[in-house]
Structure 1
Amino acid sequence: MNEQKLIRKLRKGKEKAYRYLFSEYYDWLCNYVFSLCNDRSLAEDIVQDAIVALWEKRKVIIITTSLKNYLFKTCHNQFLQHVRSQKIKFDTLDKIRWDVVSEATLEDDLYDFRMEKLKRLIDGLPPRCREIFVQNKLEEKKYKEIALEMGISVKTVENQMSKALHFLRANATTFML
């Protein structure tokens, strides 16, 4: 079924369209959220909440991207809200792997678009901050290892990572959707 047609039917409250949406996207979204949290039950809860929220707000929601991308972003945001609500320490948030997006079953062109935007965002970091971020996230070096190599304190590495992650999160909407 064409996405625009599906969206129109959802707005009209057609239950058949809702069942189609659920059967078409549920497993894909669950797999994506599971890759973030490694908890099948939590992943299913988040996806169900996202799909129910779409149904409840169907008359007022404006979808400017594809429905699939809209659902992906909604689930991603709901996962982040869950993490924040659990008051998980920053270090745990930091452990969410940056390669999750590459493992998600996104269309190749969307993935390429996002990765290019992410690379540009990383390039926009100050040089020292970028170097520390790349070593930690891409080369998977520990803070202590980076500090020793660069001749700086672990606290400085932590501060630079905090700045980098804050900058990337603040600008994430430019590459997520």
Structure 2
Amino acid sequence: MKDQKLIKKLRNGNPKAYKYLFSEYYDWLCNYIYNLCKDRSLAEDIVQDAIVGLWEKRNDVMITSSLKNYLFRTCHNQFLQHIRSQKIQFDTLDKIRWDVISEATLEDDLFEFRMDKLNNLINQLPPRCKEIFVQNKLEKKKYKEIAMDMNLSVKTVENQMSKALSFLKANATSFLL
């Protein structure tokens, strides 16, 4: 069937013309797009969209060259649009990924900064106060165990812990906010 005759039948809504168009060009166009993307299902989707699009816009489409060239150009352009949209998605995913990584890194840096400051404050405690604090908070010992290990009363351990916590609380507010 000649292109102009086929285009005229398509414009008139002739389903046989559409069927002919599909059977005549579908495989050729699918193979062309497949050679570009190496994805059979993507190639079929692009070609189907192009042919259905031609049918839906049959009254508005101006085909100045051959129908084969028109379909070839349409499928090629749809493939390029697909590639662009995938690139945008990858760029967006990369940006999100880097945002998360940098945020986590900043949080890690902030955590390390705070831990360094806290360790410096702990090192400023008097020796016995520091030892009691470390045993209680880092080694998870109870006041009674610490008192027995250090040969102190439980009340002394409580007082030393109270001093340590008061000192840390007074000096840690500047970097913990």
State the TM-score, normalizing by the size of structure 2: 0.49
Structure with more relative contact order (C-alpha pairs < 8 Å, separation 6 or more): 1
Of structures 1 and 2, the larger Rg is shown by 2
State the TM-score, normalizing by the size of structure 1: 0.49
